[in-house]
Amino acid sequence: MTDLTADGASDHGNAKAELITPPAIHTVNLMGALYLIITVVFFYLLVATWPVLESDGHSFKSFHIFLSRHSWEPDKQMLFTVMVAGALGSLTHTMTSFGDYVGNRQLSTNWLWFMILRVPIGMTLAVLFYFIVRGGLLLPTLSAPGGPAPTNSTLQLNPYGMAAFAALAGMFSKQATDKLAAVFDAVFAMKKPVERDNPLTARDAELKVAPAKLTQGKPEELTVTGSGFQTETKATVNGKDRTFKKSSATEGKIALLEEDVRNVGELVIVVVNPNKDVFRTTIKVLAA
């Protein structure tokens, strides 16, 4: 039994080593320095281009960017403000995650591009939310009751409100994406969704498990390694439901029952995520 435990611990350690590949220290320092530089640049752009009404209320004041004077149309300037605010919101989330992972020594090279792409993703979501707000899909469109229509409705917008919307969309990209999906479902509602033979979101992958071998008549708690685990993740052993306990997004535990190791043979372990991702593996039950 001691040998089996040692083998299991070794297999488990190898599985975690395959999932987490720490980046070189100079890569971490370079990313940290770039995050600081990019944040300063975006803050400068936000302050420099902030929409400020002229005294006559018919346009925004001109501004300077890196010693160059500019005077944009109100729509263009407000859109730029939204993009910059969205970038700052996504940077807030990304830098927090980056600092946490580096501090806990859990940063993996697999996540570097995710952290890099968070900024353009936040800007894109901010722009999409701005279009939805301005188009009246999420909030009513602007109007001027009891008076003539304004020459440009953008001048009536509160830039603080638009920037706050954009920053929140960039900071909470998952919730923003879910809200966009809800808006899309409301606009393009269907009585019955179209069933697809090969849904793009689902995938079938190999599941890593420790210990790698079991002894007949001795049920154990299996540690499984995959990805995207949630509290709703389900597990089966030879087609029978078993309790799955999530430890992290990449690790969980399955408690075997006595009937699972009653006979010598193989156990088929299947873990299914709520998004239909399936992880499979087999484990041998050896004679005592």
Same domain flag for 96 and 175: yes
Residue 183 domain boundaries: 22-187
Same domain flag for 252 and 219: yes
Same domain flag for 85 and 226: no
Same domain flag for 167 and 250: no
Looking at residue 240, its pLDDT comes to: 92
The structure tokens listed for 26 are: 């100079």
Same domain flag for 33 and 162: yes
Looking at residue 235, its pLDDT comes to: 94
103 touches 37 (CB < 8 A): no
| Helix residue ranges per DSSP H, the chain | 2-19, 25-48, 74-103, 112-135, 159-171, 173-187
Looking at residue 40, its pLDDT comes to: 95
Segments of the chain with pLDDT less than 70: 1-20, 137-151, 187-203
Same domain flag for 139 and 236: no
Looking at residue 43, its pLDDT comes to: 95
Q: How many angstroms separate the CA atoms of 108 and 249, rounded?
A: 14
Neighbour tally for 258: CB within 10 Å? 9
Residue 196 domain-assigned (yes or no): no
Looking at residue 191, its pLDDT comes to: 59
Looking at residue 3, its pLDDT comes to: 46
pTM: 0.56
**Structural domains in the chain (count):** 2
